[in-house]
Chains A and B, each alone.
Chain A
């Protein structure tokens, strides 16, 4: 197992390096320099600025200097807004986005997990069709459509819940979490159903039944672990999706999180801000994929055996 984890970690490093390199040169290839603004800047000022941001150095030196900064945990300054930097933005936005993501994931796991298990226990009955139809709707309904619709119904017509904000009014976290989590609840319901269906037909479940265990104990103690492996494996890709979804949800609900800052930076063409945030977010996504892989492998006894695990 340890070897597997180490191997996967080693595989992640070149990927992260590729991300940094591609992003760096893409941003540098952007037409127009960062200080080509509408106002005429005196040449001396421009030169001083360029020296300050190391733009006077050759490209390769800039690149390695940037790598050095990253190694020290410095994601770089904003060219658009002097004085601001990416680290500041991350420390302001990340806690909010992380909280939103955690709630959304919770919504997805609870709603999706329950629906999937329910459907798998009585396949091809109403108990299967109804949750699975909802899941199909959830998959086809884009976040940016679901969000406004939920706001329209629960916020504006029924006036049950606040329509925007994060942590200002009680209850304002409900709609964003629901919006972000819905699609993943749908995927998890489908994956969970498939996984549980497969597990429930296994011999060891029949053994458990033959022993006379109550049905709920069979499900909770025996089937759940195996049946949820596809769900856990899905959590890695889901994380990337959640992050992208947070761009939309934070924009709709005006939540001051990382996603909204990122979209604003993209909109303002704040290149260095995008560079830093992209590198940060990408690394985060890659690490989460890794984590989900390891977790799925750890949960799967067959795979563990394959990896030569004896512990």
Chain B
């Protein structure tokens, strides 16, 4: 039973007789350790703060946006940043800050939802492959290898063209692409974990595979999962912005940072702020996610384990 405590932590367990209480304490101390290490990493903390702030803004946008989303002022037109419009207005006289806030809702939503889809598929698939092992595992991972070799960017474009550009499809298409790495990571984790005594104990207690995966394997592999999730979100957001920039992603009247950047690029000669502010929002978010991901990797001591 003692090996539970040692899975993510190299410190010897001082008192392993009082099983339940010690275990609970040890379990939290892994996360406490990680948090202490993360707190020392200023860039990661900065990233976390930016992300929390942006997420809060995105959630509260309908109530805190300075102007209405569809509120135009054609007489005003495009104006540089001013006291009334902190980030200026676009060619229809719409408040840029409001647009960026609403665009951020979509960009962040795509990032989180598509990553969640990838997470769900990848973790389930990888855990099953790793747990069952043998030929099933070989066949399942072979499929992942084949899918890895497919040029997905082109496939997503194809999907968007064939089935129309809608948000739900975008979530699914991106999620379907990004689960592969997650599956590989989860599988290697599970393969390592299932040799351990606590899994054996669970098996001998008569727990089914689903329960073992859910209650024992996934919680113990949480570190790598969290790290790679954090690093997947920027990739997903980039993909959405890339598609929207080409006109193949989010469609008006909805907007996203990628779409705002694309409009901004068209008129940047006269109205550079229309490019710079949405670009800043996206770049800052991507930065934050990358820094946080790197920081978490160090804090949770996750080595890059791809196979």
Contacts and interface: CB of A to CB of B under 8 A. Distances in A.
Contacts of A96: none
Contacts of B162: 26-27, 29-30, 271
Interface string A259-273: 000110011010100
Interface in A16-30: 18-19, 22-23, 26-27, 29-30
A14 B246 contact: no
A136 B149 CA distance: 27
29 contacts: A12-B149, A14-B146, A23-B158, A30-B163, A136-B287, A139-B290, A141-B283, A142-B282, A142-B283, A144-B261, A144-B262, A145-B261, A145-B282, A148-B261, A149-B279, A156-B269, A241-B153, A244-B153, A248-B246, A263-B246, A266-B158, A266-B248, A271-B161, A274-B157, A274-B158, A278-B155, A282-B154, A285-B154, A289-B149
Contacts of B160: 266
Contacts of B157: 262, 266, 274
A-B residue pairs, 3 tightest by C-beta = A148-B265, A244-B153, A144-B245
A26 B238 CA distance: 25
Interface of B: 146, 149-151, 153-155, 157-163, 234, 238, 241-242, 245-248, 258, 261-262, 264-265, 268-269, 272, 275-276, 279, 282-283, 286-287, 290
A152 B279 contact: no
A164 to B, nearest CB: 12
The interface residues of chain B, by DSSP majority, are classed as helix
Nearest to B244: A144
Given A19-B150, A152-B272, A136 B161 contact: no
Contacts of A241: 153
A300 interface: no
Contacts of A40: none
A15 B150 contact: yes
Given A30-B162, A145-B279, A248 B242 contact: yes
Contact of A140 (B248, B276, B290): B290
A202 B130 CA distance: 34
A267 B161 CA distance: 7
A62 interface: no
A278 B268 CA distance: 32
B146 to A, nearest CB: 6
A89 interface: no
A140 B150 CA distance: 24
A151 interface: yes
A251 interface: yes
Contacts of A247: 246
B96 to A, nearest CB: 16
Nearest to A139: B290
Contacts of A289: 149
Nearest to A152: B268
Contacts of A136: 287, 290
A148 to B, nearest CB: 4
A283 to B, nearest CB: 9
Contacts of A263: 246-248
B287 A281 contact: no
Nearest to A282: B151
A106 interface: no
Given A14-B146, A151-B268, A140 B151 contact: no
A285 B150 CA distance: 8
A252 interface: yes
Contacts of A147: 265
Contacts of A111: none
B16 to A, nearest CB: 37
Contact of A266 (B151, B161, B276, B283): B161
A136 B293 CA distance: 13
A161 interface: no
Contacts of A14: 146
A281 B154 contact: yes
A286 interface: yes
A286 B161 contact: no
Contact of A252 (B265, B276, B286): B265
Nearest to A252: B265
A140 B287 contact: yes
Contacts of A29: 162
Interface in A161-180: none
Contacts of A267: 246-248
A70 B149 CA distance: 20
Contacts of B246: 247-248, 251, 263, 266-267
Given A19-B150, A266-B248, A282-B151, A144 B265 contact: yes
A148 B158 contact: no
A240 interface: yes
